[in-house]
């Protein structure tokens, strides 16, 4: 049994980790950390988990409460993971961090986009970017996983094979993404006020969203040259889901089957990547509650543009599900253990 503790257990991502882990045959949950709900039954905070979890939240003391733990999932807001991650690693405990704190390799770039200095630069160096389908060999050996952002997951998975195979010549790739409001977390903000997000769609953080350097870091590594993104996220009146639409120039005049065969080479055996048939395009409902990433594409011959669409559930493949997939890889389990979930439809 892998003994796991969860920091930030009462956030949306923490709750999604627990929803998935209570059905994982190889996991025992040892603590649920919370500042605000100390000594409160977890299922009074998340009533969907009644009968599945019978435990109170505790406020974890990182110096004394980490004895019976093999792995910590850290689901705290950005900027708050560095100290707990350091302490856990010093005690020989593996960590999967779901914030952005260990995703960006250059500490100066992190400071520029997140507005705070990085306080754990050594650990930043050893962190492995946890995009499961792409870095599984490194993930197996890792002690610290930087779990990817939700938008970056939906964008890097479809672009990686085409950049690796040198299909894409664009220096700037245009990406439009739409997210459900759970992406903004449980902490109240304007983004998740019902009166403002219901029956409303808006673009936000144009040209300055904090996921930009994370996406560019990974796309540039795949292409072995500098690749930029023109990334525009939108908030949409859904609870969960991300739909990303990506536009690239078809400079090599490839046809549908050429691109399909590249995707097959990379993702044929990857359970969680579902390539759709010609003229089928992803929709968020078809991945709802699951760890799948659906991908469809077309070539607009008139404009010579390849248009790729991907869909994920932001809380699952975009956060908790991919974190558990990474745990499975780290501990030598089947990659889809505990994650073999049929998406909810309708
Ligand atoms: N929502 C999403 O779709 C995704 C989120 N993530 C990342 O995962 C992490 C958790 O996100 P999410 O669950 O959505 O966030 P939430 O706002 O829903 O939850 C964060 C939790 O952290 C705890 N916390 C501890 N210290 C603080 C503090 N000083 N300020 C605020 N909260 C604190 C809070 O619980 P308590 O007060 O009980 O301790 C809170 O419930 C973030 O880094 C986020 O960016 C990553 C991918 C997708
Ligand atoms: C809708 C919404 O607000 N989405 C969040 C991104 C989701 C998230 O939590 O980002 P990480 O994956 O980096 O943790 C945002 O735009 O900041």
Of 72, 92, 126, the residue at which a domain comes to its end is 126
Is the pLDDT reported for residue 256 higher than 80? Answer: yes
Neighbouring residues of 340: CB distance < 8 A, sequence distance ≥ 6:
none
Per-residue pLDDT of 267-312, as tens digits, reads: 999 999 999 999 999 999 999 999 999 999 999 999 999 999 999 9
Is position 331 within any domain? no
Residues 155 and 254 in one domain: yes
Domain count, the chain: 2
Look up the pTM and report it: 0.98
Looking at all shown ligands, the one closest to residue 152's CA atom is 2
Q: Which domain holds residue 92?
A: 2-126
Q: How far apart are CA 142 and CA 148, in angstroms?
A: 15
Whichever domain contains 177, its CATH number is 3.30.360.10
Is position 328 within any domain? no
Nearest-CA neighbor of 308 among 271, 281, 274, 284? Answer: 281
Ligand 1 binding pocket mutation candidate from 57, 75, 95, 151 (most atoms within 8 A of CB): 75
User: What tokens appear for 98 in the block?
Assistant: 């779901």
Residues 286 and 156 in one domain: yes
Per-residue pLDDT of 117-133, as tens digits, reads: 999 999 999 999 999 99
Is the pLDDT reported for residue 191 higher than 80? Answer: no
Which residue is closest in CA terms to ligand 1's atom 4?
A: 183
Q: Which atom of ligand 1 is nearest to the CA of 98?
A: 8
Whichever domain contains 54, its CATH number is 3.40.50.720
Question: ipTM score here?
Answer: 0.97
Residues 206 and 84 in one domain: no
Residues 183 and 256 in one domain: yes
Is the pLDDT reported for residue 189 higher than 90? Answer: no
Q: Looking at residue 181, what DSSP letter applies?
A: G
**Under 8 Å between Cβ of 163 and 266:** no
For the chain, give the mean pLDDT.
97
Residues 251 and 184 in one domain: yes
77 lines ligand 1 (CB under 6 A): yes
Residues 178 and 308 in one domain: yes
Concerning whether 150 is annotated as a catalytic residue, the answer is: yes
Is position 241 within any domain? yes
């Amino acid at each position: 049994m892998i003994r796991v503790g969860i920091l930030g257990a009462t956030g949306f991502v923490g709750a999604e980790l627990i929803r998935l882990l209570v059905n994982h045959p190889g996991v025992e949950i040892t603590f649920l950390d919370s500042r605000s709900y100390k000594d409160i039954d977890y299922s009074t905070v998340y009533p969907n988990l009644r009968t599945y979890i019978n435990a109170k939240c505790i406020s974890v003391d990182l110096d004394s409460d980490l004895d019976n733990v093999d792995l910590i999932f850290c689901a705290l807001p950005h900027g708050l993971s560095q100290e707990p991650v350091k302490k856990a690693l010093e005690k020989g405990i593996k960590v999967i961090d779901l914030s952005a704190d260990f995703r960006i390799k250059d500490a100066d770039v992190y400071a520029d986009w997140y507005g705070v200095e990085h306080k754990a630069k050594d650990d930043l160096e050893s962190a492995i970017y946890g995009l499961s389908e792409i870095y599984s060999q490194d993930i197996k050996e890792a002690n610290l996983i930087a779990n990817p952002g939700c938008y970056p997951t939906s964008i890097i998975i479809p672009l990686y094979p085409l950049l690796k195979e040198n299909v894409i010549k664009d220096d700037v790739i245009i990406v439009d993404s739409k997210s459900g409001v759970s992406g903004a977390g449980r902490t109240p903000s304007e983004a998740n006020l019902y009166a403002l997000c219901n029956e409303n769609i808006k673009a936000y953080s144009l040209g300055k969203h904090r996921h930009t350097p994370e996406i560019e870091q990974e796309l540039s590594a795949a292409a072995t040259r500098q690749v930029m993104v023109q990334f525009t996220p939108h908030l949409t009146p859904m609870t969960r889901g991300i739909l990303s639409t990506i536009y690239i120039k078809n400079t090599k005049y490839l046809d549908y089957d050429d691109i399909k065969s590249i995707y097959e080479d990379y993702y044929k055996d990857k359970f969680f990547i579902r390539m759709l048939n010609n003229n089928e395009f992803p929709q968020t409902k078809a991945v709802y509650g699951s760890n799948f990433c659906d991908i469809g594409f077309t070539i607009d011959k008139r404009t010579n543009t390849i248009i790729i669409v991907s869909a994920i559930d932001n809380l699952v493949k975009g956060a908790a599900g991919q974190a558990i997939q990474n745990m499975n890889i780290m501990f030598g389990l089947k990659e889809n253990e505990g994650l073999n979930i049929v998406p909810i439809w309708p």
